[in-house]
Structure 1
Amino acid sequence: MTVAQGRSNYLRLLPVVIFVVIAGFFAMALRSGDPSLLPSTLVGKPVPQTTFPAVEGLEVTAGKSEPGFTSADLAKGKISVVNYWASWCVPCVDEHPMLEQLKEESGVDIYGVNYKDQAAAARRFLGRYGNPFTAVGTDADGRAAIDWGVYGTPETFVVNGRGHVIYKHVGPITPDSLKTKLLPIIAKAKAEAAAAAAGPSS
């Protein structure tokens, strides 16, 4: 076999090798029961340029509509959280109290994305379980979810003040993941932002 033939065979096999590696990550996550092990290409990168329209008819108070949001809202200097959810998502019901606790303990703004849902169903869900969100947008056709790399609901992203994703949590937030993952990551991001704002010490 010539060198050229060997290189050609290698290039033909490369896509297969990459596929096997990625499939291995998915298999490991599924076998371990920890979906948060699924890889995310967004971590360390800016959030996708996205506009999430408001949920039709959703009101913060009587006569005042709950706003949607855009990716620009996630780059205004504050740590924030983006949570993909849906009224038809059973794990989202279990997770919802954790979002309330996350907001209370971390003090961050939480932006909700209502995924492939009906506006009336979304309003009923928030009316029944509470609304922990600073703003609620919609991804009715799921196109934005593709850009965000969402596998399914619920999924949660921690975003730094520059609009970069610093952590992705796949699956429902649990008391354990809230305590051992999300809160420490948010606390670290806040400390880093404060240190950067203070500048170099003299």
Structure 2
Amino acid sequence: MAVPVVVFAGFVGLALVGMFREDPESLPSAREGQTAPPVVLDEFTGKPSFDDATLRDGTVKLVNYWASWCAPCRAEHPTLEALSAEGVPIYGVNYKDQQDNAEAFLNELGDPYTAIGRDEKGRMAIDWGLYGVPETYVIDGEGKIVLRFAGPLTSSVVEKTLRPAMEKAAGQ
């Protein structure tokens, strides 16, 4: 009889913790505060690529996972374009996509990426703990993940979540 009561109390405890989190909509990330996993990308023909050393070049940057087949990626694209126009370096990881489709997406909407690579099989995404696209990481100058944001970036997300994380990354 005691086991069901203990199990029920455990569920109630977990529910209470979930209800009082700072942002109940955010997904937790085990990678925050850790060095970014290795960058292992296929070439995106005609575009500059990036590697581990790029993530440790002393500057704050974003790593953005996206795909041409992803409707939320299309919705967030103007926000990425605006950040890029401000001079924010954004490194793109094209996730499980056909290169022709990805090129057409960028030709239509613009290319906000400083450099880009393809994660054709999704292996790098697994190592980074990707839940799905779009997903954006704030990386400090030493290559540490300061923030992982799952979902499309909007102007509100940029102001309330992304910019504070970028400021934190710059201050470390």
What TM-score does the superposition give when structure 2 sets the normalisation length? 0.84
Distance apart, 1:183 and its partner CA: 1.6
1:75 aligns with 2:56: yes
Partner of 1:111: 91
1:87 aligns with 2:76: no
Distance apart, 1:186 and its partner CA: 1.2
Equivalenced residue count is 160
Matched letter for residue 68 of structure 1? S
Q: How does 1:111-150 map to 2 (within 5 A)?
A: 111-150=91-130
Moved more, 119-128 or 179-188: 179-188
Give yes or no for contact 1:53–1:138 (8 Å, CA) kept in 2.
yes
Matched letter for residue 118 of structure 2? T
Give yes or no for contact 2:42–2:120 (8 Å, CA) kept in 1.
no
Unaligned runs of 5+ in 2: none
Higher-RCO chain (CA-CA 8 Å, sequence separation at least 6) = 2
Matched letter for residue 70 of structure 1? D
Q: State the Cα deviation string for residues 57-91 of structure 1 (Å, max 9, x = none).
A: xxxxxxxx212221221001011100000000000
1:185 aligns with 2:165: yes
Distance 1:85 1:28, change over 3 A: farther
Compute the RMSD of aligned alpha carbons: 2.5
Distance apart, 1:129 and its partner CA: 0.3
Residue 156 of structure 1 aligns to a residue in which SS?
strand
Distance 1:177 1:132, change over 3 A: same
Partner of 1:164: 144
Partner of 1:40: 29
Matched letter for residue 91 of structure 1? P
What TM-score does the superposition give when structure 1 sets the normalisation length? 0.72
Give yes or no for contact 1:87–1:121 (8 Å, CA) kept in 2.
yes
Matched letter for residue 146 of structure 1? I
Unaligned runs of 5+ in 1: 1-8, 57-64, 194-202
Partner of 1:54: 43
Give runs of ≥4 in structure 1 deviating > 3 Å. none
Give yes or no for contact 1:68–1:138 (8 Å, CA) kept in 2.
no
Structure with the higher helix share, 1 or 2: 1
